[in-house]
Amino acid sequence: MARAALKAAPAEEPETESGLTEGGDASKFHDHLSIRHKSRQKPPRHLADMTREEREQTVVDLGLPKFRAHQLENHYFAHFSVDPKDLTDIPAVQRQSLANRFFPKLITPLLTRTADNGMTIKTLWKLFDGARIESVLMRYPMRTTLCISSQVGCGMGCPFCATGMLGLTRNLSAAEIVEQVREAAKLVRDGGIAGGPARLSNIVFMGMGEPMANYRSVVSAIREISALPPLGFGISARNITVSTVGVVTGIKKLAKENIPVRLAVSLHAPNDTLRDELVPMNKRFDLETVMDAAHDYFLASKRRVSIEYALMRGINDQAVHARQLARRINGYGDDWAHVNPIPLNPVEGSKWTASKPEDEAQFIRILRSAGVTATLRDTRGNDIDGACGQLAARYFAEHPEDEAQFGAFDSIKKAPETC
Ligand code: SF4
């Protein structure tokens, strides 16, 4: 398809900062915050929510010299430490109160599951208000990757997804995102994952939530994850991937941030009719608008875009779909995108189930013979409710007393799979 023939993006684009997106009621997605949202308190303010100036001002307000803020940054970002006992360069009498002020407990592990001979660790975290999120740590021969959440639940409403069935509860603060990274970086450094001590090298925003619907906190977290110590963890921005279901406003903003993160677009369908059904956000930003934005991101960042494509048996995994997808990608030129077909977990009795191996192989063969690079994505942790939302679903099934707090979770107990 010639680029010139592509449909132009809408002139006026809705803001998506708050998770509330205009038109949410008119479409199938439930991208509105939960009814209890207004009564929810904000997470306590944490060092990772503050600018350097705000940290300095906070210690000055406590009657302490500015450099105490720099010492705290160093403990947090360079040593992953929040324990007052570790603040040995700060007078003993000040340690506890500074830790209370700068390092409030934001995330607490509720449930941990291990798979792949200890190389995959999935954690269900409890937040300060009782909300739950998940993260997954995966060790590979050359890297260690953490998949993190950006929201509690997700409002995008993809019908095949456990998290989508939760709906959106609230956005995470920047520090709630950064804390997932600090906990994992510490665990990996201390040899808490099979294979011995190592360094957390890669971050993917592919856990619960749509990162572009919590844009400000996500970008602030990315800056702290990638800045060099003592202002960040020093994980290269080139090793950070931000995944979106196609929130074009967010893709455009991210392209202007000048941070070389990789963009991943969860496409899941090669035409609008099918994508309208699988990804309700497609009714807001259609396939051409999303592909235009993804290609523009490639031009701006010079980084290949990942196209995520969950293969669902008999739904989007046939030869015709692979050919359509290849045509769409090639319409923008060569070597700008890499397709990651993702096998779904087979779940008995579900409409959304895994492709047949021969269909997966055929899908990849067609893409490759059309000159599109494609790699079947590794599905780490499938035996531990590996997909986002599934561990939360399991937890609520086992702890019905907690379920009342969050309302209707029945549907996700049976939910087949997610992104
Ligand atoms: S597939 Fe991704 S974007 Fe869609 S509902 Fe699930 S978490 Fe949200």
pLDDT at 390: 56
Most confidently predicted of 19-23, 307-311, 403-407? 307-311
How far is C-alpha 389 from the chain's CA centre?
A: 12
Contact present, 210 and 245 (Cβ < 8 Å): yes
pLDDT at 59: 98
Taking only the tens place, the pLDDT of each residue in 28-86 is 444 444 445 555 689 999 999 999 999 999 999 999 999 999 999 999 999 999 999 99
Ligand 1 atom nearest 161 alpha carbon: 6
- Confidence class of residue 158 from pLDDT cuts 50, 70 and 90? confident
- Site to substitute for ligand 1 among 205, 245, 275, 311, most atoms within 8 A of C-beta: 245
pLDDT > 60? residue 304: yes
pLDDT at 168: 87
Ligand 1 atom nearest 419 alpha carbon: 1
Asked whether this chain's domains 16-45+105-413 and 47-102 adopt the same fold, the reply is no
Ligand 1 atom nearest 244 alpha carbon: 3
pLDDT at 345: 63
pLDDT > 50? residue 9: no
Pick from 103, 113, 111: nearest CA to 48? 103
Could you confirm whether domain 47-102 is CATH 3.40.50.150?
Answer: no
Residue 110: burial class (beta carbons within 10 Å; 0-12, 13-18, 19+)? middle
pLDDT > 90? residue 323: yes
List of residues 6+ apart from 20 with CB closer than 8 A? 31, 32, 33
Residue 11: count other Cβ atoms within 10 Å of its Cβ: 5
pLDDT > 70? residue 103: yes
Give residue ranges with CB within 6 A of ligand 1. 154, 156-158, 161, 163-164, 210, 245, 266, 388, 418-419
Task: Point out which residues pair with 33 in neighbouring strands.
Answer: 168
Instruction: Assign 403 to helix, strand or coil.
Output: helix
Q: How far apart are CA 128 and CA 44, in angstroms?
A: 8
Contact present, 108 and 82 (Cβ < 8 Å): no
At 15, phi and psi to the nearest 5?
-75, 150
- HSE-CB for 362 with a 13 A CA cutoff: 15
Taking only the tens place, the pLDDT of each residue in 291-302 is 999 999 999 999
Residue 311 CA to ligand 1 centre (angstroms): 15
Q: How far apart are CA 318 and CA 145, in angstroms?
A: 31
Residue whose entry in the numeric block shows the structure tokens 């994505």: 377
Contact present, 146 and 136 (Cβ < 8 Å): yes
Active site residue 277: no
Alpha helix positions (H), 62-214: 67-73, 79, 92-102, 162-166, 174-189
Percent of the chain with pLDDT over 70: 79
pLDDT at 383: 57
Residue nearest to atom 5 of ligand 1 (CA): 164
Ligand 1 atom nearest 208 alpha carbon: 7
Pick from 210, 218, 209: nearest CA to 237? 218
Taking only the tens place, the pLDDT of each residue in 260-272 is 999 999 999 999 9
Q: Between residues 287 and 155, which one has the greater pLDDT?
A: 287
Catalytic residue chosen out of the listed positions 56, 134, 183, 210 = 134
Please provide the average confidence, as pLDDT, over all residues in the chain: 85
Residue 283 CA to ligand 1 centre (angstroms): 15
pLDDT > 50? residue 131: yes
Residue 57 CA to ligand 1 centre (angstroms): 39
List of residues 6+ apart from 384 with CB closer than 8 A? 113, 114, 115, 120, 122, 391
pLDDT at 388: 53
- Site to substitute for ligand 1 among 32, 150, 151, 156, most atoms within 8 A of C-beta: 156
Choose the CATH number for 16-45+105-413 among 3.40.50.11540, 3.20.20.70, 1.10.3720.10, 3.40.50.1100. Answer: 3.20.20.70
pLDDT at 232: 98
pLDDT at 159: 83
Residue 357 CA to ligand 1 centre (angstroms): 24
**Rounded to 10 degrees, what is the CA torsion of 239, 161, 388, 19?**
70
pLDDT at 160: 83
Residue 398 CA to ligand 1 centre (angstroms): 24
For the chain, what's the residue count? 419
Taking only the tens place, the pLDDT of each residue in 212-267 is 999 999 999 999 999 999 999 999 999 999 999 999 999 999 999 999 999 999 99
The DSSP line for 125-150 is EEETTS-EEEEEEEE-SS-EEEE--S
Pick from 358, 357, 365: nearest CA to 339? 365
Q: How far apart are CA 322 and CA 270, in angstroms?
A: 8
Catalytic residue chosen out of the listed positions 183, 388, 417, 419 = 388
pLDDT > 80? residue 17: no
Contact present, 283 and 239 (Cβ < 8 Å): no
Residue nearest to atom 1 of ligand 1 (CA): 419
Q: How far apart are CA 197 and CA 194, in angstroms?
A: 8
Residue nearest to atom 4 of ligand 1 (CA): 158
Taking only the tens place, the pLDDT of each residue in 176-185 is 999 999 999 9
- Site to substitute for ligand 1 among 148, 163, 342, most atoms within 8 A of C-beta: 163
Task: Provide mean pLDDT across the span 100-110.
Answer: 97
Q: How far apart are CA 206 and CA 266, in angstroms?
A: 10
Q: How far apart are CA 229 and CA 79, in angstroms?
A: 9
pLDDT at 86: 97
**Rounded to 10 degrees, what is the CA torsion of 83, 85, 89, 90?**
80
Q: How far apart are CA 331 and CA 325, in angstroms?
A: 10
Which DSSP letter does residue 365 get? H
Ligand 1 atom nearest 268 alpha carbon: 1
The beta strand positions in 192-283, using DSSP E, are: 202-205, 240-244, 262-266
Residue 211 CA to ligand 1 centre (angstroms): 10
Residue 62 CA to ligand 1 centre (angstroms): 43
- Site to substitute for ligand 1 among 158, 168, 411, 417, most atoms within 8 A of C-beta: 158
Q: How far apart are CA 19 and CA 15, in angstroms?
A: 9
- Confidence class of residue 389 from pLDDT cuts 50, 70 and 90? low
Domain locations in the chain as residue ranges: 16-45+105-413, 47-102
Pairing between strand 373-374 and 168-171? unpaired
Residue 332 CA to ligand 1 centre (angstroms): 26
Percent of the chain with pLDDT over 90: 71
Active site residue 388: yes
Residue nearest to atom 2 of ligand 1 (CA): 419
Contact present, 159 and 231 (Cβ < 8 Å): no
ω into residue 230 within 30 of 0, thus cis? yes
